[in-house]
Chain A
Amino acid sequence: MRLKGKIIKYGDNINTDEIIPAVYLVSVDPEKLAEHCMEAIDKDFVRKVKSSPIMVAGKNFGCGSSREHAPLALKGAGVKCVVASSFARIFFRNAINIGLLIVESKECVEKSLEEDILEIDTEKGVIKNITRGTFFSSAKYPEFIQRLIEMGGIDSWVKERI
């Protein structure tokens, strides 16, 4: 998969309470969830992400609760891909399962700034920072995960087993 877009950037340990506060977990509608996405730390997130759909963040992205509403809210808000130095494990599973693209590249996170334009090629594992003319490699997924990503989530895997 290849995609290109402008960056919106945050720090380390962005947790699920920040991505979507628990008080809003009374809905499973991605668009409703999206209205409150990231509001505790960035009131303008929903507006900004429309023109900057690539979210870049530091280590341990998505730590905290198991709420799948977190990747759903990001997806609903229009996030096309999250690039982080590392991901917390339940968020990682949830994103893969529901088909939110996530890419791990510490180098890209450290050397890219807000509003830079990235071009991400998940098959080659290469990220190009078009603004700066730099290239970074992203962590390669194990075969099993790669297959789930290619299937756009876990749906087909489950359907084969029902």
Chain B
Amino acid sequence: MQMTISEKILAAHSEKNKVKPGEFIIANVDLAFANDITAPLAIEKFKKWQAKRIFDEEKIVLIPDHFTPNKDVMAAEQCSLMRKFAREYGVKNYFEVGRCGIEHIFLPEQGFSIPGELIIGADSHTCTHGALGAFACGVGSTDIAAVMATGKIWLKVPSSIKFVYTGKLPPWSVAKDLILYTIGDIGVDGASYMTMEFSGPVISQMSMAGRLTMCNMAVEAGAKNGIIAADEMTINYLRKRTNKPYQLYKTDAGATFVEVREYNVEKIEPQIACPHLPSKTKSVLEIGDIKIDEVVIGSCTNGHLEDLKLAATLLKGKKIHPELRAIVLPGTPQIYLEALKQGLIEIFIQAGCVVGPATCGPCLGGHMGILAEGEKAIATTNRNFIGRMGHPKSEVYLSNPAVAAASAIKGRIAHPEEVK
């Protein structure tokens, strides 16, 4: 039977020769992780079940990245609970503030995300890790508790949609614009319960950071996972990061897709997702005059070094608009350090931005840049639901880092060409 990459990985992890969409499986998990929001609930369940030990101390990662550095006493208590649990149960991979980054950038960077593996995270953006050819999907805290206790998870095998991208992107359009355009096209439930398999020449030539951005937002179309076949680029990326052997799967020629969608990317200008859904996309050329109070560059979607570089090319030697503030959050300490070495941090500070630590912070309205009533932000993040970044009457527009930087300079949503 012909299978997709996702089906092959799920079959291999449930000791089957083949699996079919719709089938329920009990799968063996290779890597499971939770953060400072989702871990406390998982720990509560784990203890309630009186589980004696973690199924494999090497395969669990606890990563406090959301409300850290601790935003208040209650957040501090959650982190403390997580830290104590990690010590008590011998979790090898607990990463403390200063030595951890945003989970979906940090784990690939540190070689935890491996092709062919089954990766389960108590965070919806776990689909990011599919960029390395893994089957990665987000679940809740109870699921992670179950994985911690048993090493297993129940899954329904998803059906798949194939997305094929061809042509040459216009200047200033990047991976973020492709995924926003795609979500705008199919809607926030357009791939509900399904796999989004990204392919085509544009994806083959796309950097690993770009691939991570594409897969990161698969969940915004309702998908279970996003996946890109591992190739030479993946192998090169992994070379310095892991010694672990891994398996490269390819989708068979006759594998079943419920749909194949092809996009010629030549006319996909930078995209803006307008309030209050990631699918309410428009080209930045059609956006009109929208005054902005805050700019956020960072998050698991666009906190990569390449994203900071892109923003810095526009901000170099310029000042941000006097009536707004711009917040830059590198995704990991290593990215921060590299940005420092390359002079990017100086560019941001000279321009009037504040550069903060690696944290999810403002993306989910946690801390480090909350919006007041009536304020508007443009952010390189992934969600713009009502109240997502603060007051229920604030608004979030999503964009790529170049548009965010251009908007920071102009004080309104702007095309990068306007400030180049």
Interface string of A80-95 (1 = CB under 8 A from B): 0000001011100110
Residues of B within 8 A of A39 (CB): 392
Q: Which residue of B lies closest to A91 (CB)?
A: B140
Within 8 A of B (CB), among A87-145: 88-90, 93-94, 97-98, 142, 144-145
Stretch at the interface among B37-45, B169-177, B337-345: B37-45
Contact partner of B385 (CB less than 8 A), chosen from A23, A64, A86, A93, is A64
A17 contacts B385, C-beta separation under 8 Å = yes
Interface residue range, chain B: 35 or more
B75 contacts A89, C-beta separation under 8 Å = no
Stretch at the interface among B11-19, B141-149, B239-247: B141-149
| B112 at the binding interface (Cβ < 8 Å) | no
Distance between Cα atoms of A13 and B383 in the complex (Å): 13
Distance between Cα atoms of A130 and B72 in the complex (Å): 48
A18 contacts B149, C-beta separation under 8 Å = no
| A65 at the binding interface (Cβ < 8 Å) | yes
B122 contacts A161, C-beta separation under 8 Å = no
Residues of A within 8 A of B124 (CB): 64-66, 90
| A150 at the binding interface (Cβ < 8 Å) | no
Stretch at the interface among A1-9, A49-57, A151-159: A151-159
B224 contacts A89, C-beta separation under 8 Å = yes
Closest Cβ of chain B: how far from A41's Cβ, in Å?
6
Within 8 A of A (CB), among B348-401: 364-366, 370, 383, 385-388, 392
User: Provided the pairs A26-B78, A66-B38, A159-B49 are in contact, do residues A21 and B365 lie with their beta carbons within 8 angstroms?
Assistant: yes
Residues of A within 8 A of B193 (CB): 89
B41 contacts A26, C-beta separation under 8 Å = no
Residues of B within 8 A of A25 (CB): 37, 66-67
A63 contacts B49, C-beta separation under 8 Å = no
Residues of A within 8 A of B150 (CB): 158, 161-162
Closest Cβ of chain B: how far from A28's Cβ, in Å?
5
A26 contacts B72, C-beta separation under 8 Å = yes
Q: Which residue of A lies closest to B81 (CB)?
A: A28
Distance between Cα atoms of A162 and B55 in the complex (Å): 9
Contact partner of A66 (CB less than 8 A), chosen from B72, B138, B152, is B138
A17 contacts B188, C-beta separation under 8 Å = no
Closest Cβ of chain B: how far from A143's Cβ, in Å?
8
Contact partner of B152 (CB less than 8 A), chosen from A13, A63, A161, is A161
Contact partner of B364 (CB less than 8 A), chosen from A17, A86, A155, is A17
Distance between Cα atoms of A64 and B152 in the complex (Å): 24
Contact partner of A93 (CB less than 8 A), chosen from B139, B370, B392, is B139
B383 contacts A93, C-beta separation under 8 Å = no
A23 contacts B366, C-beta separation under 8 Å = yes
B387 contacts A94, C-beta separation under 8 Å = no
A154 contacts B146, C-beta separation under 8 Å = yes
Closest Cβ of chain A: how far from B279's Cβ, in Å?
9
Residues of A within 8 A of B219 (CB): 90
B41 contacts A40, C-beta separation under 8 Å = no
Residues of A within 8 A of B44 (CB): 28
Distance between Cα atoms of A21 and B219 in the complex (Å): 18
Residues of A within 8 A of B49 (CB): 155, 158-159, 162
Distance between Cα atoms of A155 and B49 in the complex (Å): 7
Residues of A within 8 A of B258 (CB): none
Contact partner of B67 (CB less than 8 A), chosen from A18, A26, A64, A68, is A26
| B277 at the binding interface (Cβ < 8 Å) | yes
Q: Which residue of B lies closest to A99 (CB)?
A: B142
Within 8 A of A (CB), among B104-133: 121-124, 126
User: Provided the pairs A65-B124, A161-B150 are in contact, do residues A23 and B365 lie with their beta carbons within 8 angstroms?
Assistant: yes
Distance between Cα atoms of A15 and B222 in the complex (Å): 11
B40 contacts A28, C-beta separation under 8 Å = yes
| B24 at the binding interface (Cβ < 8 Å) | yes
Interface string of A57-89 (1 = CB under 8 A from B): 001100111111100100000000000001011
Closest Cβ of chain A: how far from B50's Cβ, in Å?
8
Q: Which residue of B lies closest to A153 (CB)?
A: B142
Q: Which residue of A lies closest to B52 (CB)?
A: A162
| B253 at the binding interface (Cβ < 8 Å) | no
Distance between Cα atoms of A94 and B146 in the complex (Å): 12
A28 contacts B189, C-beta separation under 8 Å = no
Residues of A within 8 A of B387 (CB): 17-18, 21, 40
Residues of B within 8 A of A65 (CB): 123-124, 364, 383
Within 8 A of B (CB), among A1-47: 13, 15, 17-18, 21-23, 25-28, 39-41
Identify 9 new A-B residue pairs, CB closer than 8 A, beyond the known A90-B219, A94-B142: A17-B385, A23-B366, A26-B72, A60-B188, A65-B124, A145-B24, A158-B51, A162-B50, A162-B51
Q: List 6 A-B contacts (CB under 8 A).
A: A17-B385, A67-B37, A67-B38, A98-B142, A159-B49, A162-B149
Closest CB pairs A-B (n = 8)? A26-B74, A94-B140, A40-B392, A68-B140, A22-B364, A40-B387, A60-B189, A97-B142
